[in-house]
Structure 1
Amino acid sequence: MSLLRILGRPMLASMFVAGGLSSLRSPHAVAPVAEPVVRPVADRVSVLPDRTEQLVRLNGAVQVAGGVLLGLGRCPRLSALALAATLVPTTLAAHRFWEAGESSDRAQQRIHFLKNLSMLGGLLITADDTGGAPSLLWRSRHAAQGLRHDAHVVRRSVRATAGPAAAVGGARAKLGL
């Protein structure tokens, strides 16, 4: 593993662990801000809890677990995807700069929105990072190419030996062997 991955993953994960712990400890502080985003999502997805505080806690738990896993380098691609999934509703709920009244508040919320958008980009890059190892897609394509090559070799060898084998078989049949 490269030094950049060893240092970068915990740095990226730290924000999620801290924010997730905050949401787990005091969901009531975040719930009013999250309500405009939580309600439409909870209405469409039946498996999610109905109460906003429960969804805030669930989001926080995923952020803590994903952040710890990402920081430790365990299942980094999956944990980055999980963190990205939690970041979208968090950003849409907490940093609605287009609804801010004062220009200073609007500018501050825009900065936080763009910061979260940048973190989302980093998470997506992390989710795509194979750590220098070939991806599953590459491995499957490579294996399929190898199988096609082997099938071609078998087909050529069968064609090359089928004619002489048929001739020998025909000669043996005529001779009664």
Structure 2
Amino acid sequence: MSIVRLIARPLLATGFVAVGVERLRNADQTAEQLAPTLKKIGSTVPSAAAFTSNPALVAKVVGYTQVGAASMLGTGKFARLASLLLAGTAALNTVVEYRNAEASTAADRKERRYQLLKNLSLIGGVLLAAVDTNGRPGLAWRAGHLASDTSRKTRAVSKSVSKGTRKQLKAVSNAASDIVGS
């Protein structure tokens, strides 16, 4: 692991751990903030209504997910999966915080915009962490190279078989001409 990853991942994770712990400590308040967003999601996606009907449970799940995924990201264990989970929870937090922020004065609107941009920056950071292969090739690269290597080796075997077959046919033809005598 490079020194940048060694430092950057825990730094990125600390904010998510703090927010997750805060969400768990104040699960009732978090549930209140989540309720309007969850209600809208439930009405838009009826199959999600069973999940969105319990804001207190969703608040706890989001809090535990943030703490767990941030811990995994910080320690470098399943960092790509953890980053995707954090991106999802951060997106939900962004929507909820934006909807619940005060916007009655110019200062409130400026603070709301600042928080939105900060949250979007965090989402961008965890998305970058999600595609970071830690210096090792990803599955798509490996699959592509396996396919091209296999194709190249198949062509090489095919060429060698063709040459061998031509030589054998020529040998058979020469033997037949010797036998027939023509």
- The answer to whether TM tops 0.5 is yes
Report the AA paired with residue 87 of structure 1.
Answer: A
Summarize deviations over 1:1-50 as a string: whole Å, max 9, x none. Answer: 11111111011111111111121222111222222211232452256252
Structure 1 gap ranges (5+):
none
Report the AA paired with residue 31 of structure 1.
Answer: A
Structure 2 gap ranges (5+):
none
Q: Compute the displacement of 1:96 (Å).
A: 3.1
Return closer, same or farther for 1:134/1:47 CA change in 2, 3 Å cut-off: farther
- For 1:87, which of 85, 90, 93 is the aligned residue? 90
Identical columns (%):
32
Aligned to 1:139: 142
Aligned to 1:4: 4
Aligned to 1:153: 156
CA distance in 2, matches of 1:36, 1:7: 37
Query: 1:87–1:120: 8 Å Cα contact kept in structure 2?
Result: yes
CA distance in 2, matches of 1:68, 1:46: 30
Q: Compute the displacement of 1:61 (Å).
A: 1.1
- For 1:129, which of 124, 128, 132 is the aligned residue? 132
Query: 1:24–1:61: 8 Å Cα contact kept in structure 2?
Result: yes
- TM-score, structure 1 length as denominator? 0.90
Report the AA paired with residue 24 of structure 2.
Answer: L
- For 2:107, which of 101, 104, 124 is the aligned residue? 104
Query: 1:11–1:71: 8 Å Cα contact kept in structure 2?
Result: yes
Report the AA paired with residue 27 of structure 1.
Answer: A
- Superposed CA RMSD: 2.1
Moved more, 100-109 or 150-159: 100-109
Report the AA paired with residue 13 of structure 1.
Answer: A
Task: Give the SS at the match of 1:96.
Answer: helix
Return closer, same or farther for 1:96/1:107 CA change in 2, 3 Å cut-off: farther
Q: Compute the displacement of 1:167 (Å).
A: 3.3
